[in-house]
Structure 1
Amino acid sequence: MDIKIINTYYIKMINEYSLLSLAGKITFPEVVKKLSEIGTERYIIDLVGLKKLYYGSNDHTYIGPFDFDAPKVAQKFNAEEIKKAITDSQQNKINYQTFLHRAIAAGCTHYEVFITGKKAIYFGRDGSQHIELFPSTK
């Protein structure tokens, strides 16, 4: 398999945005904007394996650790609770780490953000999912 590794600047920026987001210093819309500006099409956050995977518009990929002290993911997926956590995050009622804890408690094993498709999909252990369009596309 031929994986194209991206340049060190791209990796540095991805890691910086991840840290800033986890520290509550930038919001999800800001992360999406910054990632788009450096050519990211989509990314996956694995809440079980604690990995982050980024895919660039030129087919470059980056896989790195997701430095988050995650509890065990709940067995049952609860799309309604995922939606509530998303809404609270969008209204700046909670920070990213609180959002992650609530998503994990609601059974989210991973989520994928489609920057060019303007949506995020949250997945459970059994393939259950919740699709959330970016606010400007609703």
Structure 2
Amino acid sequence: MDAQQRTIAEECTAASEKDRMSFPQVLGALAGAGFEGYFADLRRTVKIYYLPDGESIEVATGGETPPVAEAFDSAAVGGAVRWAQAAEADYCYKGFCERIMAAGCMGYLVSLPGRRAVYFGRTGEMHVEHFPNR
């Protein structure tokens, strides 16, 4: 992994958290830098960005988070995703994370080649969101 890729991963994390980049913009930047996806660990407050050759970089995310609810509510996770996709004026990434954590989501995996995000709970329940067609 080169220095530019590290910088892009760090910038994508910071820009998401400060609502300076949308999810599609983050995906474009990561794809342009050669990443194939990332894992957001909401309990540990880190994101791990992966390259196709197996290299990765871990980037700390912002501060404290609420606890993850015990029960996984796939419909509520889907509702939070729809809120994010609608790009409503009240949307913020922190609020999105709070909503999915309240719905029992402990993390999510984003796959660029698979064009999907997989949200999962403590006991392995999942909610899969395919990226909208371009």
Query: TM-score normalized by structure 2?
Result: 0.93
Aligned residue number for residue 90 of structure 1: 85
Q: How does 1:38-117 map to 2 (within 5 A)?
A: 38-93=33-88, 94-117=91-114
Distance across 2 between alignment mates of 1:54 and 1:24: 19
1:125 pairs, out of 103, 122, 127, with: 122
Q: How many Å apart are 1:8 and its aligned residue? A: 2.0
Residue 9 in structure 1 maps to residue 16 in structure 2: no
When the two chains are superposed, the root-mean-square deviation of aligned CA atoms in Å is: 1.2
Q: Counterpart amino acid of 1:67?
A: G
SS at structure 1 position matched to 2:105: coil
Deviation at 1:98, TM superposition (A): 1.0
Q: Offset of 1:75 from its aligned partner? A: 0.7
Structure 2 CA distance for aligned equivalents of residues 68 and 29 of structure 1: 24
Per-residue CA deviation, residues 76-106 of structure 1 (Å, 9 max, x unaligned), is: 1100000000001000122211111101110
Question: Hey, what's the Cα distance between the residues in 2 that align with 1:68 and 1:45?
Answer: 14
Is 1:21 aligned to 2:16, yes or no?
yes
Q: How many residues align?
A: 132
Deviations 1:27-54, CA, capped at 9 Å, x for gaps? 0010001100000101000001112111
Q: Which residue of 1 aligns with 2:133?
A: 136
CA pair 68-30 structure 1, distance change in 2 beyond 3 A: farther
5+ residue gaps, structure 2, are: none
For residues 87 and 20 of structure 2, the distance between their equivalents in structure 1, rounded to whole angstroms, comes to 12
Q: What 5-or-longer segments of structure 1 have no aligned partner?
A: 1-5
**Percentage identity across aligned positions?**
30
TM-score (norm 1): 0.91
- Aligned-partner SS, 1:57: coil
